Every structure is written in structure tokens, then in C-alpha cells.
A and B are shown apart, each in its own frame.
Chain A
Amino acid sequence: MPVTIEKAQVTLPSDREVKVTRSFKAARPLVYRAFTEPTLVQRWLLGPPGWSMPVCEMDVRVGGRYRWRWRSNKDGRQFGFTGTFREVAAPARLVHTETYDPGTVGDAHPESESIVTVTFTENSGITTVTTLIDFGSKEARDAAVATGMTDGMEQSYQLLDALLRERV
């Protein structure tokens, strides 16, 4: 019986949060591995088109750190995320902090820490991953949604610039 996987869904559960939900045709332990083993993460968490992920270090245990960095193939600019794992409950749940590292991109992204809670639930071989990101403030959330992980990098920066200009 063919299984239809729905595309990623994004909702805004509160002023400070974003929730992303997606299902995968794989058992939960495997999906958990793909989220926690650096060599696997590096194969899919590539950021915007035209960017690669040269740095992916993850010490997945409570108190362990991680460092992700993306690099533009075009001009070598870099940005990333760093953080600490707060909860590690394989293969069900992962909680980590997340701080934006502007690298050499040089944008004025708000310097706030987000809390990311990733939950993995399995039903008949289909694993649903829910990523809840608490940005700590509405400003940080809106700026993050407008930048970083979006598909049109330049377009996003223009949006972010506009958002920041408005708050000066």
C-alpha cells in the first residue's frame, strides 16, 4: 500500500514560536540517527540553495555542544548556529539551545538564544518529526523566519533589513 507523505507544515503556535511538522517513511531510530549523527546531518541540512555545510560538530549528550556552519559556494561567506543539548532522549526527544552565529555574512541578526525541541513519534513505520522553536521574542522569531533558512537568501536579507530598520 503506497504511503503518502505530507509536505512540511509550518504553524505559529504563539508570538515567539514556530512549529515545523513533517513525516518520514522510516522507523524512528533511523530518523533520530539522521538528526543526531553529524555525517548524516551534513547530507541534508544544507541551508539555502548554493550553500554547503562544511562544519557539523555534534556532541549529542546533555550539556554537549554542537556547531553548524554553512558556506556560500559562490562567494565563501559563512554563517552558522551553535548551542548546547539540554535533553537527549533517544529516539524520542531532543532539546537544544540555538544561537545564531553571523560568521562573515555580517548581518545584524538579533543575538538571542532559541530553544529547539524536536520530538519523534512513530506510527506504522512512519515517523513524524515536530520541531518547535521558541525564539524567546516575537522580534527574533520574525527576523529568523525572514532570514537564514529561507530559499532566497538576498530577498530574505532585504526583508530582514526592512524589519530591523523599522525597529531603530
Chain B
Amino acid sequence: MKAHASHSLDATFLALADPTRRAILARLARGDASVTELAAPFAISQPAISKHLKVLERAGLITVGQDAQRRPRRLEGKPLGEASAWLERYRASWEASFERLDAVLEALQGKPSVPTRTRSRTRRVRGDT
């Protein structure tokens, strides 16, 4: 089960590694589209697009719709969600460290005001005498 999950992640990231495939996913995020419609904005052949679609399909990122004639491709959100959850855990650990760093920087910035206060007090003392 776990091995299957990580295999899906690999397939997802492999699929996302290509800019044409990311563009196809972006297009499908706006709605289902046929192969011809998907190929239209790209300067590459329809067989080349079909190859990209197969990679996306194998990764479970897209499915083929019911219409036998048009065979519209549809975006599947679950694998993308799993991939982003995986990254989110990594991001959260960095954020935890960075929030501690915020506190460290705040403390460091608080420091210069200490000698300033000391100096003004010294002046006052000197003025008194």
C-alpha cells in the first residue's frame, strides 16, 4: 500500500517534470478537452501530444471520458493532492525552523537599543554631576 503510494508520487512528479504536460494539465483544469483541442495551442504533432497524454494517464493525473467519439481527457485531482501533501510536510518543517529564526532576528534587533539606553543614562548621570 505504502509502496504503491510512493510509486504514484514518482509517477506524478515524473509527469509534472515536463512543461508541455504541465500546460496540458493547466488547460484541463479549465475543463475537459479532446486530443485535438489539447494539441491546438502547441507547435508539436498530435502523436507527440498523445505520448504526453499517456504519461499523464499512467500517473493517474488524467482519465478518458465516456464519449467514444471525442474521448475527452479529464483532470483527476487526487494524485496532485497527494503530491502537494508530500511537499507540504517538507515545507512545514522549514517553516517551523524559519519561525524560530524570526524570533532570533527579533531578539538580535532588540539588542542595539540596549547600548543606546545605557548611553543616554550615562549622559544624564554626567549632567547631574
Chain A residues within 8 Å of B, Cβ to Cβ: 5, 7-10, 12, 14-15, 18, 20, 22, 24-26, 30-31, 33-34, 40, 43-49, 138, 142, 145-146, 149-152, 155-156, 158-159, 161-163, 165-166
Q: How many residues of B contact A (CB 8 A)?
A: 31
The docked-state distance in angstroms from the alpha carbon of A150 to that of B92 is: 7
Residues of A within 8 A of B109 (CB): 26, 30
Residues of B within 8 A of A161 (CB): 2
Q: Mark B93-129, 1 if CB is under 8 A from A, else 0.
A: 1111110111111101100000000000000000000
* Shortest distance from the beta carbon of B104 to any chain A beta carbon, whole Å: 5
Nearest 7 A-B pairs (CB), nearest first? Answer: A44-B100, A162-B2, A44-B101, A26-B105, A10-B91, A8-B95, A162-B6
**Which residue on chain A has the smallest CB distance to residue B9?**
A142
The docked-state distance in angstroms from the alpha carbon of A48 to that of B12 is: 26
Q: Would you call A166 and B3 a contact (CB within 8 A)? A: yes
Residues of A within 8 A of B105 (CB): 24-26, 30-31, 34
Stretch in B47-55, B56-64, B82-90 with 4+ CB within 8 Å of A: B82-90
Known: A24-B105, A34-B101. A150 touches B9 (CB 8 A): no
**Which residue on chain B has the smallest CB distance to residue A9?**
B91
Q: Would you call B13 and A142 a contact (CB within 8 A)? A: yes
Residues of B within 8 A of A149 (CB): 90, 93-94, 97
Chain B residues within 8 Å of A, Cβ to Cβ: 2-3, 5-7, 9-10, 13, 16-17, 86-87, 89-98, 100-106, 108-109
* Shortest distance from the beta carbon of A53 to any chain B beta carbon, whole Å: 10
Of B2, B93, B103, B106, the residue contacting A150 (CB under 8 A) is B93
Known: A8-B91, A145-B86. A46 touches B17 (CB 8 A): no
* Shortest distance from the beta carbon of A142 to any chain B beta carbon, whole Å: 7
* Shortest distance from the beta carbon of B5 to any chain A beta carbon, whole Å: 7
Residues of B within 8 A of A47 (CB): 97
The docked-state distance in angstroms from the alpha carbon of A64 to that of B87 is: 32
Q: Would you call B108 and A34 a contact (CB within 8 A)? A: yes
Q: Would you call B102 and A145 a contact (CB within 8 A)? A: no
**Which residue on chain B has the smallest CB distance to residue A127?**
B105
The docked-state distance in angstroms from the alpha carbon of A165 to that of B7 is: 11
Residues of A within 8 A of B95 (CB): 7-8, 22
**Which residue on chain A has the smallest CB distance to residue B17?**
A15
